[in-house]
Structure 1
């Protein structure tokens, strides 16, 4: 009897409703601010919520009560659409002023083709006698479930694996590029991207294992597959909430069109000094020591280049090859030295260690602790104690 509220249907129903609310909030914000990332995330969550709705009403007894429901025609493998949306979402965050273009529509050739194919077999089956009295028509059984669905399972797996690999690589490259531009990287926003990818990677792994077990080992029923649907529903809520409350526009507005040279430490550092004028290295060092631009927590490569009267490319080469550091480590090394100097002056008697760190140009406790440990092999507290001893 429909509706049947039980331990399977009720949790999914609650989560699905919350997921749809988040879809509405993201679309509303997109209409107001025109951030492409909001629209892409809303569509992604809408597709995952649609999947959960189909399973939720199943656990509520819809398909048992209405045996001729044609839902199987419209349960298209969603990963072929979700995977490119994951890629485009990360792209929309990490590419400056991202706009959806016609070329992006090519990512959805497969899911659109599947929708047309399913609509075609539905139309054919609907014209056959007795279709209204059955759940699956002749083409659905003889063609789709017998031949096409096994192929779609392989396609689903392959498409998801490829898109996740491309997207993770995109994230790793972007994170490294950020360090070439900014002295304080956007830890909160970058961690959100990492967690976003981790969530969908784990869901992909879980789904793949379930498909493998269900196809080759044992027959998994509706209830055994409930756990994956519950996990997807929970992840939908997490992704929706974090995506809504994390200000990803900070990354989208960054100007990273210039590509600094990567760090390249030659075997013979004397050769580097021949290529890079000593005066340039000394000038940058003098600027850092005398004017202390590193005290600005928002210092970036462009601003420092302006102060040094050089181009971004020249400054990048001087820092990478002359000082053998990326921009992030270069600036933070001065902040750490400033912190050490303040401790020697007894500044810790008036301020907390974190307060001193903020005065030195750091913008978060986590960044300060990580950088200090990396450059000194001590935590700030351990370093202070070593100086007292």
Structure 2
């Protein structure tokens, strides 16, 4: 009996990527269960779907379409869930940005197209195998997963959800800068890299549709699936590394994201009107509080903290800072931290302590955040600034 998998150059290469996707899907699922991390579970599901996505081509190049038994496995098992990948990306994005996010009843509408395709696949199987016992739907001898209409609808679906996810992240990023003084710590740069990586896959797919007149032919799409596999390889490695990193930063997740992401993403606060006179009043109150209490030294300072200290609403403080100082809350607080650092440097404290210790004393929570904020404020790196002071 011949081995049911023909190891050729193309099938073996795709097999490596398939195995890699399955392994990392398992690792992320395990991490998600152990740490009760929903984002890891969604990414695990995404990688599993990607592994299934390349399966028909991997198995096709391994001669499965040439054998009756294996051909029917490819025909009747819906490996390519292109209508499911988009929603999974979207919910992975939402869950990563808000570890308290739960799917509501209304969210299940996103899965209806994928469910309908599964029902269609079931009808095809029942008709061709159980009722007629001959190919009716498969009379053309072509795998339904590879049908032109299905692949095109899949690209449209994934593009739609990618745009949804990018808008969601952009909204999160903008409002985080308005609400916390440690925005860099919860920006989740990984999700942006993840979405851009997936965008490259869709662009490649569209270019293949446009530039390759034979894109519907099985053998003409090998390079698309190789590039797809490479991008998924990148996503799996970096996604797992991010999951490991977040498991060590659990305090940031629980104390920061859980507190703010619900109000940032889900809620639409009522509009409050505030005139110029009120802005000037609150500007002075904010400056007095900062000068007296030095609240910027609190590395976890939030807009809500300031509003409670001044006994007003976060919206009032936000509007006063945005309009009165023409800055977002994060940059506004970092400005005072930078000034405090510069004051300590002028007093020569860097001769008794490290630059990083000084930065932490002034409210910064990481070296990278301090360096970015310092250069943004002064146009110089901290080391260059010190050199200029001594010259």
TM-score band w.r.t. shorter chain: 0.7 to 0.9
Unpaired segments of 5 or more residues in structure 2?
A: none
- Which whole-Å CA distance do the structure 1 matches of 2:323 and 2:101 have between them? 32
* Residue pair 1:373, 1:380 contacting (<8 A) in 2 also: yes
1:280-321 CA-to-partner distances (Å, cap 9, x unmatched) read: 322221221222111121111122223333332232232222
TM-score normalized by the length of structure 2: 0.83
Match of 1:386 in 2: 388
Match of 1:339 in 2: 341
1:45-72 CA-to-partner distances (Å, cap 9, x unmatched) read: 2111222344333344444455752213
Match of 2:353 in 1: 351
Count of residues in Structure 1 that have an aligned counterpart in Structure 2: 375
Relative to structure 2, which stretch is displaced further, 161-170 or 24-33?
Answer: 24-33
Q: 1:54 to 1:240 in 2, by over 3 A?
A: farther
Describe how 1:1-389 pairs up with structure 2 within 5 A. Answer: 2=3, 3-65=5-67, 69-70=71-72, 71-75=74-78, 77-95=80-98, 97-127=100-130, 131=134, 137-142=135-140, 149-187=147-185, 190-215=188-213, 220-221=219-220, 223-238=222-237, 240-247=239-246, 250=253, 252-258=257-263, 273-278=276-281, 280-389=282-391
Shift of 1:18: 3.3
Unpaired segments of 5 or more residues in structure 1?
A: 132-136, 263-270
Relative to structure 2, which stretch is displaced further, 343-352 or 215-224?
Answer: 215-224
1:154-203 CA-to-partner distances (Å, cap 9, x unmatched) read: 32222122111111011001001101111111446510111111121111
Q: 1:246 to 1:12 in 2, by over 3 A?
A: farther
Shift of 1:340: 0.9
- Which whole-Å CA distance do the structure 1 matches of 2:210 and 2:77 have between them? 23
Q: 1:388 to 1:225 in 2, by over 3 A?
A: closer
Question: Looking at both structures, which has the greater relative contact order when contacts are Cα pairs under 8 Å and sequence separation is at least 6?
Answer: 1
Q: 1:252 to 1:66 in 2, by over 3 A?
A: farther
* Residue pair 1:181, 1:328 contacting (<8 A) in 2 also: yes
1:228-256 CA-to-partner distances (Å, cap 9, x unmatched) read: 35325414522542353242861641334
Q: 1:223 to 1:180 in 2, by over 3 A?
A: closer
TM-score normalized by the length of structure 1: 0.83
* Residue pair 1:272, 1:321 contacting (<8 A) in 2 also: no
* Residue pair 2:47, 2:232 contacting (<8 A) in 1 also: no
Relative to structure 2, which stretch is displaced further, 218-227 or 379-388?
Answer: 218-227
- Which whole-Å CA distance do the structure 2 matches of 1:237 and 1:257 have between them? 27
* Residue pair 1:19, 1:236 contacting (<8 A) in 2 also: no
Relative to structure 2, which stretch is displaced further, 18-27 or 292-301?
Answer: 18-27
* Residue pair 1:296, 1:361 contacting (<8 A) in 2 also: yes
- Which whole-Å CA distance do the structure 1 matches of 2:130 and 2:385 have between them? 80
Coordinate RMSD, CA, aligned: 3.3
- Which whole-Å CA distance do the structure 1 matches of 2:358 and 2:102 have between them? 41
- Which whole-Å CA distance do the structure 2 matches of 1:99 and 1:325 have between them? 33
Runs of 4+ in structure 1 off by over 6 angstroms are 143-146, 259-262
* Residue pair 2:176, 2:183 contacting (<8 A) in 1 also: yes
- Which whole-Å CA distance do the structure 1 matches of 2:207 and 2:364 have between them? 44
* Residue pair 2:128, 2:136 contacting (<8 A) in 1 also: yes
Q: 1:346 to 1:157 in 2, by over 3 A?
A: same
* Residue pair 1:93, 1:252 contacting (<8 A) in 2 also: no
Relative to structure 2, which stretch is displaced further, 32-41 or 189-198?
Answer: 32-41
Equivalent position SS for 2:156: helix
